[in-house]
Amino acid sequence: MAKAAPVSPLAPKSIPEIPPIEGVRFAAGEAGVRYKGRTDVMLALLDEGSRVAGVFTKSKCSSAPVDWCRARVGSGKARAVLVNSGNANAFTGKAGKDAVKLSAKLAAAAAGVPERQVFLASTGVIGEPLDASKFEPVLPKLVAKAEPEGWLEAARAIMTTDTYPKLSTRTAKIDGIETRIAGFAKGAGMIAPDMATMLAFVFTDAAIGSEALQTLLSRSVRGSFNAITVDSDTSTSDTLLLFATGAAARRGAPEIERASDRRLAEFRAALDEVLLDLAHQVVKDGEGARKFVEIIVDGAENDRAAKRIALSIANSPLVKTAIAGEDANWGRVVMAVGKAGEQADRDRLSIWFGDVRVAYKGLRDPSYDEAAVSEIMKRPEIKLRVDLALGAGSSTVWTCDLTKEYVAINGDYRS
């Protein structure tokens, strides 16, 4: 079994305690997918009538579980979620398709729910067949012991190179009735989402129709999971599923079918907070990460251009290694801006590290203070801002530094 990595120095000081959400229960166990003696399978059971929305990787080499979920999320109905770690069931051909079919069949039989309402996700090594028969003896036990308080065990079961479980929760009132939102995610490497993150599962007791739920989710990922990057690599398995059990309706919460309904304002903000919190935790657990970096680009031609420039900076190995070395090398930032393919004017460009302006109008800032910038670069969390002075476009993305540990982790990932 692989040796566990030390917990990231950027990890939250404590793991939030997640209160039960009516209508969902969790259980985790050991199926021996890749390693012995490791919890590697999670099952979530949802009450009848639960709704689902999802966003998935845009990779052209998507995994078999992603294909399975994408084909079924349109129904809007869900009763169970089965997730395994250790094997991504990606690039596995017909064997991968057979594995998801068997997984859904076994989960449906154990839980007594329709196969078409079972959602699947897998994470781990790519290119190795998944032996789904290993789930058969485990699933009935998971169904029997599933409980509303099983959040932490579920979050731990889906970890791969993660060094800590990632959970978040908020409350929001809908028409005066309190509802809950909570979720967990996994991800540390192969993080440059083009929809969501590696794996994330969010649950609410709100009574929201599947179409409205899908709209809310698709909007919310733009400023959260689609605004993070660890290493510029988009996974074959990216899956974010949002489930609404509707249980709050029994407490008087309205049943809402339109995402534009004004009564959803507080809920929408709370969902944004949960997704952004989880996304930030993924970056803070970036493989080998020692610095959490916020990159703000202002003054671009438009928001799309600002986003491309921000990601160009965030994904630059030279920028990221400079940050790892606590070197405010703004020349590398200029390089990343220039190569992004968007409108930029060297002689209008300004750059800040923290609150210190290091470059102004194409030159080193005349009041540049090396000592002040050096102190900023020693911080575990660093803000880097660029102003192109061309227009009103702006964007913010989050990333981490690139260290020798990242190479070490990925150099022996399959061993």
- pLDDT band (50, 70, 90) for residue 287: confident
pLDDT at 284 > cutoff 90: yes
pLDDT (average), residues 322-350? 96
- pLDDT band (50, 70, 90) for residue 6: confident
Does 236 count as an annotated binding residue? no
The reply to whether 262 and 306 lie within a common domain is no
The rounded mean pLDDT for the chain is: 93
Alpha helices in 25-180 (DSSP H): 64-72, 93-111, 139-145, 151-157
Structure tokens given for 115: 């196969």
For 108, 231, 238, 269, the CA distances from 87, given in Å and listed in that order, are 21, 21, 14, 35
pLDDT, residue 230, reads: 84
Q: Is residue 307 part of a domain?
A: yes
- pLDDT band (50, 70, 90) for residue 315: very high
Structure tokens given for 248: 């709050």
Chosen domain end from 267, 284, 301: 284
Structure tokens given for 292: 């959490």
Tell me phi and psi for residue 231, to 5 degrees: -140, 10
The reply to whether 185 and 326 lie within a common domain is no
Alpha helices in 255-384 (DSSP H): 265-284, 303-314, 317-324, 330-339, 370-377
CATH number at residue 116: 3.60.70.12
Domain count, the chain: 2
Q: Is residue 92 part of a domain?
A: yes
pLDDT, residue 208, reads: 98
pLDDT (average), residues 149-161? 95
Structure tokens given for 197: 């993150």
The reply to whether 112 and 192 lie within a common domain is yes
The Cα–Cα gap between 241 and 53 comes to: 6
The reply to whether 261 and 374 lie within a common domain is no
Does 287 count as an annotated binding residue? yes
Q: Is residue 164 part of a domain?
A: yes
* CB contact set of 24 (below 8 Å; sequence gap of 6+): 44, 45, 46, 47, 50, 148, 203, 243, 245
Q: Is residue 18 part of a domain?
A: no
pLDDT, residue 415, reads: 46
pLDDT, residue 170, reads: 98
Structure tokens given for 43: 């099952």
Give the position of tokens 């859904």: 104
The reply to whether 300 and 349 lie within a common domain is yes
Longest dimension (CA), the chain: 71
Q: Is residue 41 part of a domain?
A: yes
Chosen domain end from 255, 284, 313: 284
Tell me phi and psi for residue 102, to 5 degrees: -65, -40
pLDDT at 330 > cutoff 80: yes
Percent above pLDDT 90 for the chain? 86
Q: Is residue 16 part of a domain?
A: no
CA angle 337, 339, 345 (to 5 degrees): 50
Catalytic residues, by residue number, are 197
Tell me phi and psi for residue 150, to 5 degrees: -85, 30
pLDDT (average), residues 101-124? 97
Does 57 count as an annotated binding residue? no
Q: Is residue 11 part of a domain?
A: no
Percent above pLDDT 70 for the chain? 96
CATH number at residue 322: 3.10.20.340
The reply to whether 385 and 275 lie within a common domain is no
The Cα–Cα gap between 351 and 357 comes to: 6
Query: 342 or 232, which is more confident?
Result: 342
The reply to whether 97 and 211 lie within a common domain is yes
The reply to whether 279 and 215 lie within a common domain is yes
Does 218 count as an annotated binding residue? no
Q: Is residue 19 part of a domain?
A: no
Does 186 count as an annotated binding residue? yes
- pLDDT tens sequence across 55-86: 998 888 899 999 999 999 999 999 999 999 99
- pLDDT band (50, 70, 90) for residue 234: confident
The reply to whether 264 and 370 lie within a common domain is no
The reply to whether 244 and 222 lie within a common domain is yes
pLDDT, residue 190, reads: 65
Chosen domain end from 284, 319, 340: 284
pLDDT (average), residues 207-226? 96
pLDDT at 407 > cutoff 90: no
The Cα–Cα gap between 101 and 111 comes to: 15
pLDDT, residue 137, reads: 97
The reply to whether 238 and 102 lie within a common domain is yes
- pLDDT tens sequence across 13-47: 999 999 999 999 999 999 999 988 899 999 999 99
The Cα–Cα gap between 244 and 242 comes to: 7
pLDDT, residue 58, reads: 84
pLDDT at 410 > cutoff 90: no
Residue 370: strand, helix, or coil = helix
pLDDT (average), residues 232-243? 85
pLDDT, residue 143, reads: 98
Domain that holds residue 334: 292-411
The reply to whether 258 and 366 lie within a common domain is no
Does 134 count as an annotated binding residue? no
pLDDT at 411 > cutoff 90: no
